[in-house]
Copies of this chain bind each other. A is one copy, B any other.
């Protein structure tokens, strides 16, 4: 007898697919197990026009290999006017705001996040019901960057009460506490931030494949994230932030930030939720919460996992690219059916 778990239309609400050959390698690895994903716009150059958004969506659809997967594309935040946003609104799921230089390909982000300076764009988004996704870090000390961003989240939440704001890939208990304080603040949480702390990155040997931005924090932070994920807090959604970099850019001097979890995310989430006796909440965390936050209905897709060991590949290769996944070479307890 085997234990099975079925999930209806799993969604990854924060995903990096990159472009060109890397896109071709990684898109199917998400499309296989998810019904849809919110795709980040930090390409070079970033996605800032209707043409580039639609063209990127087309390239993703060309690469995905599984027709029952829908990419939800986003714009890279800049000042946009009402008419432009009204015209593009139905083609995007949200707009992603990066503080300038805060992570991979974010050089064109916002230099100073000031509610007044951003007011015209944010009011237009608010009126048109376009969600604002934010990478919430200052340029302060690496362990304090997200905590220091809390006042910015609070100012935006208060100034734009009708704007739906998603705190992306939250990593601290401070961010978790904001969820119940402001109606219009929501959050995505990655797989790896539910599992690791800075100890896993730099407490023993240095582990470049676990180096990401925001960096993994303290045990009390991880536990706060785990609590709201396991209880499937209705304002919390799964967003892997799976971020592929080729092996030579991870295992080197000056390693790029990002953990590649796309092909193992559901299996490891099943293990984690089962371990805590919360398997019944997993579908809310990976699908239903996102549907109600973003108010959309995804493609119908049933994913079945079985309780059976599987070994994670050491590396995924193809199209002249390669990427090392989290848990490379290790054994997981759940497999795709």
- Chain A residues within 8 Å of B, Cβ to Cβ: 141-143, 197-199, 201-203, 205-209, 211, 215, 218-219, 250-257, 324
Q: Kindly state the separation between the CA atoms of A255 and B209 in the bound complex, as whole angstroms.
A: 11
Contacts of A252 in B (CB 8 A): 208, 251
- CB contacts (< 8 Å) of A257 on chain B: these are 205-206
Option from B197, B251, B256 in Cβ contact (under 8 Å) with A251: B251
Output the least CB separation between A255 and chain B (Å).
Answer: 4
Asked if A253 and B209 sit within 8 Å, CB to CB, the answer is yes
Partner pick for A141 among B208, B219, B251, CB 8 A cutoff: B219
The CA of A300 and the CA of B2, in the complex, are separated in Å by 76
- In the bound complex, do residue B255 and residue A205 qualify as a contact, i.e. CB atoms below 8 Å apart? yes
Contact B207 A202 (CB under 8 A): no
Q: Is the CB of B202 within 8 A of A215?
A: yes
Q: Is the CB of A142 within 8 A of B202?
A: yes
Closest Cβ of chain B: how far from A173's Cβ, in Å?
A: 14
In addition to A141-B197, A202-B211, 12 A-B residue pairs with Cβ atoms within 8 Å of each other are A141-B219, A142-B199, A143-B218, A201-B202, A202-B202, A202-B215, A205-B255, A205-B257, A206-B206, A206-B255, A207-B253, A208-B255
Q: Is the interface of A mostly helix, strand, loop or mixed?
A: loop
- Which residues of chain B have C-beta atoms less than 8 A from A206's C-beta? 206, 208, 211, 254-257
**Minimum C-beta distance from A135 to chain B (A):** 15
Cα of A211 to Cα of B60 in the assembled complex, Å: 38
Residues of B within 8 A of A211 (CB): 202, 206
Report whether A207 and B141 are in contact in the complex, using a CB–CB cutoff of 8 Å: no
Please indicate the chain B residues that have their CB under 8 angstroms from the CB of A205 in the complex. Answer: 254-257
Q: Which residues of B contact A209 (CB under 8 A)?
A: 253
CB of B141 within 8 A of CB of A198, answer: yes
Least CB distance from A325 to B in Å reads 12
A30 to chain B, nearest CB (A): 23
Chain B nearest CB from A217 CB (Å) reads 10
Residues of B within 8 A of A201 (CB): 202
Which residues of chain B come closer than 8 Å to A143, judged between CB atoms?
143, 198, 218
Contact A218 B141 (CB under 8 A): yes
